Amino acid sequence: MKDSDIHTGLPFMKMHGAGNDFVVIDSRGREAVMTAGLAQALGDRNRGVGFDQLAEITDSDEADFGLVFWNSDGSQAGACGNATRCVSDFVMRGLGAETISLVTARGGLRAERAADGRVWVNMGAPQLDWQSIPLAREVDHLHLPLPGDPVAVGMGNPHCVHFALDAEAVDLAGLGPVIEHDPLFPQRTNVEFASLISPGRLRMRVWERGTGITLACGSGACATAVAAHLRGMIGPKVVLEVDGGELEVDWRDDGVWLTGPVARVFDGVLSPDYIAAHR
């Protein structure tokens, strides 16, 4: 990269939460730059940077900042819990704040730093009626008419949660894309398989729509916790063991709260030529 590219290119951060990895672009103070083509190009782990989701930070008149999420196939996501935690940690450090507000396609959310340093994000109330999830027709969301008797939960994006005796034994790579594209889900769906390990602890694996198998999914952890609680398997608090570590969910009166590890891995600059080629 030429020295001039450092000043004219597009800065980005690479972050992850429990192995769920993100490219983060801070567009505050300037026009949002992301397009479907650029997001898809950046999501290529060989020819771009690679990510599970891309998060673009934007200005907001309603909150401290806004967030827009993109999947690696160039489609947009309505919610991304782990990216929200990572970006909230970054913004909090920059502002010297312990509490911040943000706006996503889901609406207004709030993040708080706990005494142990972890960032908790309120992901909002779960969407439990068939039109909001959304589903293609009115069915019992607690017992979908699909193999495995799954639960549908909306967390700003749709989730289809399955409970199995052993989540490790599930053919996630084979079942994930089939369920993602089932006609019951007009906007496709994220797919979770979970098993109860002990009281208050679940093992969860996830197939994310537009991305595939990921090491963790924050909104998926929230949806799985809600589904397990509604099925009477757990209380409102749960630890979820995911492929990339552990996430913790607490379904409170004011919403579903999520926390877990965050990491800022490196910063980089996209060259002007790369951006121009993929806009």
| pLDDT-based confidence at residue 98 (cuts at 50, 70, 90) | very high
CA distances from 154 to 6, 158, 272 (A): 41, 5, 38
List the one residue out of 9, 6, 36, 13 whose CA is nearest residue 210: 36
36 neighbors 75 (Cβ within 8 angstroms):
yes
CA distances from 18 to 47, 53, 59, 226 (A): 24, 14, 27, 20
Output the six-digit token pair for 252.
Answer: 């409170």
Candidates 86, 160, 217, 222; catalytic one: 217
Tokens 């801070």 correspond to 26
Rounded mean pLDDT, 215-220: 97
DSSP string, 204-259: EEEEETTTEEES--HHHHHHHHHHHHHTTSS-SEEEEEETTEEEEEEEETTEEEEE
| pLDDT tens-digit readout, 243-261 | 999 999 999 999 999 999 9
Tell me if residue 80 is catalytic. yes
Whole-angstrom Cα distance, residue 173 to residue 150?
A: 17
Candidates 80, 86, 160, 222; catalytic one: 80
38 neighbors 98 (Cβ within 8 angstroms):
no
108 neighbors 101 (Cβ within 8 angstroms):
yes
| pLDDT tens-digit readout, 35-76 | 999 999 999 999 999 999 999 999 999 999 999 999 999 999
| pLDDT-based confidence at residue 4 (cuts at 50, 70, 90) | very low
Q: Is the pLDDT of residue 1 over 70?
A: no
Of the candidate CATH numbers 3.10.310.10, 3.30.43.10, 1.20.1250.20, 1.10.10.10, the domain formed by 3-122+262-278 belongs to 3.10.310.10
- Cα dihedral 199→201→202→208 (10° resolution): 140
What is the architecture, at CATH level 2, of domain 151-254?
A: Roll (3.10)
On the question of a common fold for 3-122+262-278 and 151-254, the answer reads yes
Length of the chain: 279
CB count within 10 Å of CB 106 equals 21
pLDDT of residue 84: 97
Tokens 């992901």 correspond to 123
Q: Is the pLDDT of residue 8 over 90?
A: no
Q: Is the pLDDT of residue 7 over 70?
A: no
| pLDDT tens-digit readout, 121-130 | 999 999 999 9
pLDDT of residue 31: 82
Average pLDDT taken over every residue of the chain: 95
CB count within 10 Å of CB 68 equals 21
Q: Looking at residue 147, what DSSP letter applies?
A: T
**Least confident piece of the model among 53-57, 75-79, 142-146, 210-214:** 75-79
Instruction: Note if the pTM is more than 0.85.
Output: yes
123 neighbors 84 (Cβ within 8 angstroms):
yes
Q: Where are the domains of the chain?
A: 3-122+262-278, 151-254
